Amino acid sequence: MAALPMIDRITAISSAPTDTPQIDRAIAAADLAHPHHDSQTTLAVGAIGVVFGDIGTSPLYALRESFIGAHQLVVDPAHVFGVLSLIFWTMTLVVTIKYVFVILYADNKGEGGSLALLALIGRRLGQNRWTSLTVMLGIIATALFYGDAIITPAMSVLSAVEGLEVVQPAFKELVLPISVAILVGLFAIQSRGTAAVGKLFGPVMLIYFLVIAVMGISGIMQAPEILWALNPIYAVNFFTLDPLLAFLALGSVILAVTGAEALYADMGHFGRRAIMVAWLWVAFPCLLLNYLGQSALLLRNPALVENPFFLMAPEWGRLPLVILATLATIIASQAVISGAYSVSQQAIQLGFLPRIRILHTSAKAAGQIYVPLINWALLALVLLLVVGFKSSNNLASAYGIAVTGTMFITACMLGILTFAVWKWPPLLAGAMTAVFLVVDGAYFASNLTKIPDGGWFPLLVAGVVFVMLTTWSTGRRILRERLAEDSMPFDVFLNSVCEKVRRVPGTSVFLSSSAEGIPPALLHNLKHNHILHERVVILTVVTEGVPHVPPEVRRVVDSVGHGFYRMIIRIGFMDEANVPAELAAEHRAGGPFKPMETSYFLARQTLIASKRPGMALWREKLFAWMIRNAESAMQFFRLPTNRVIELGSQLEI
């Protein structure tokens, strides 16, 4: 069966006999960050469109939900100043300090996201007391991210289209069908690629940020005393005034920074520098000005709390603002959608998901991909949410729990990184980790109160994803163990079989999930056909804990005699596994590989669930279903269709 390594651990298969310290050092030392060939200005504009669309549209609902959400607040100066102070310091601590200034530097050779961070920690630490905890945290964070990727597009688009009700109450009946049409169109254009989408959306989002900043400045000029809310003392006073309501309000305040977790996951698309520039010089100041303007409006007229974002605009500008905000929320959904693609590819290569089709949409940036199955699955679930919840007010109760859960777990993993990998002074690492854990933990605890009102949905999605991730990982480990039971040692095979079997011209390549022993496909071929080719290559594809492996160290070849060669191809978890291309570049395994004289042999097991020790019976059946529905190894490894032979067998797990 084709190789999908790193299932039971994230570190590379260092026990493979052909691994060498020189190769490991070359991988560690190589500059493997994504090569972004566009200018920093172009990348920053693209990042504004793709990365900051989600957090950029938070002003549409964050301040409103803080006052009229599930736990309503009195719209008076004390609460307005308190909520605004919380929003400002949340953006400062969570987004600016935690994500932009710290976590963006926890990149895995240019890639971000929970699994990239997991692979980074695993590669540096190997097997130790932190490994199991880190793996579990990474899987949970990944599962929560998928829950967020479903609810964000629904919430963002609905909140913008509902602005039509401010323009004309009669438009209320059109909100739902228009939202559905917009979402279908958004997911339909994803196949054009992140770069194309970013170039289209970036300028629109830039205009949106400038407009909301101008609106905010206009509001501030009418009540300049609102600037005092930037003093953290007002946030403290809010908790002193009403500790319980202030705690519950955190569940709505966190809506102001939804999208920060996608900022990290999308790093591979645009790079750290472009994201930092876009946040510090455009997104953050414009968002802050708009929140200040909305709060100033509430100081002057508390009755406008029903929709301060749109009511802040003059009457003649509300319809254009609705159109612009709708475009912005379409863009907002892009952050988590493209992030879901990156996370899915990492999960596949790291052995947590079965093979699925991945399309590269850019010849310049390796991180820009499109995953059709993920795209259409997200669309189906997003439409289910929109039709089921019907309004952004209802969705707000479900929003935030997945975001804060991901943020809290990221803070835990960051603590492991600073202590065990970066080797920061214990006092500094402990203090920073404690601050992030307290802040993120408070927001997560507040959002847990939303579970009965809709928060169960993202948790349900995350639970399903968690089961699938762990079932695939554990199932692959058990499958390898079962196959190893029937495997034959290589030296025994060479000494007892090779001299007695007829050899025919050509080359046969047998894909093996293990770098040791004889692959099942070779034994089955010998059993049924009673021949061997003159040159036999046993090929294992090993996924390293880095995004990319440099070409000069990707292939390792050992000659084991009798025309047999053991080859290991080492790829990064963001690399494409193109086996024919790798063989075409290799001449050490008995000379060049001629495409029309090379045959590829794959083993395809039909799994039979049994009561043998391993997994619960229902999980074994789930694993067998995932195996059947995975993309074939022929497609995943880009093998020529007319040169592949699949040999099937049944196996109990």
DSSP secondary structure letters along 18-73: T--HHHHHHHHHS--S----S-HHHHHHHHHHHTSHHHHTGGGTHHHHHHHSSS--
Q: Sign of the C-alpha dihedral, residues 408, 414, 419, 421? A: positive
Measured at the CA of 173, the angle between CA 171 and CA 175, to 5 degrees, comes to 75
What is the CB neighbour count within 10 angstroms for residue 634?
18
pLDDT higher at 328 or 27: 328
Radius of gyration, CA atoms only, the chain: 27
pLDDT at residue 32, rounded to an integer: 43
How sure is the predictor about 8, in pLDDT bands with cuts at 50, 70 and 90? very low
Give the integer Cα–Cα distance in Å for 524 and 479: 17
| 547 close to 575: Cβ distance less than 8 angstroms | yes
**Between residues 557 and 632, which one has the greater pLDDT?**
557
In whole angstroms, give the CA distance from residue 336 to residue 146.
9
Transcribe 405-421 into DSSP letters. HHHHHHHHHHHHIIIII
207-229 per-position pLDDT tens digit:
999 999 999 999 999 999 999 99
Q: Are 480 and 444 within 8 A, CB to CB?
A: no
Residue pair 530/559 in contact by the 8 Å Cβ criterion: no
Share of the chain above pLDDT 90, in %: 37
pLDDT at site 528? 84
Report the pLDDT value the prediction gives residue 33, as an integer from 0 to 100: 45
Domain boundaries, the chain: 36-473, 489-652
Instruction: Locate 557 and state its tokens.
Output: 């070849």
pLDDT score at 569: 93
Neighbours of 132 (CB within 10 A): 11
Residues belonging to the chain: 653
- Helix, strand, coil percent values for the chain (each to nearest 5): 65, 10, 25
Whether the Cβ atoms of residue 333 and residue 152 lie closer than 8 Å to each other: yes
CB–CB of 70/450 below 8 Å?
A: yes
What CATH code would you report for 36-473?
Answer: 1.20.1740.10
Q: C-alpha distances in angstroms, 124 versus 135, 416, 418, 480? A: 13, 11, 12, 25
Tell me how far CA of residue 561 lies from CA of 391, 515, 628, in angstroms: 69, 17, 36
Q: If you average pLDDT over residues 542-560, what whole number do you get?
A: 85
Q: Are 155 and 582 in contact (CB under 8 A)?
A: no
For residues 264, 265, 266 and 269, what is the CA-based torsion angle, rounded to 10 degrees? 110
Q: What percent of the chain has pLDDT over 70?
A: 90
pLDDT of residue 26: 56
Mean per-residue pLDDT of the chain = 84
Q: What is the pLDDT of residue 29?
A: 53
Task: With CA atoms as reference, report the closest residue to 38 among 49, 48, 29, 46.
Answer: 46
* pTM (predicted TM-score): 0.79
Which of the listed ranges 35-44, 436-445, 540-549 does the model predict with the highest average pLDDT?
436-445
Please check the confidence at residue 1 and state whether its pLDDT lies above 50: no
> Band of the pLDDT at 561, cuts 50, 70, 90?
confident
Residue 297, pLDDT above cutoff 60: yes
Residue 78 has pLDDT above 90, yes or no: yes
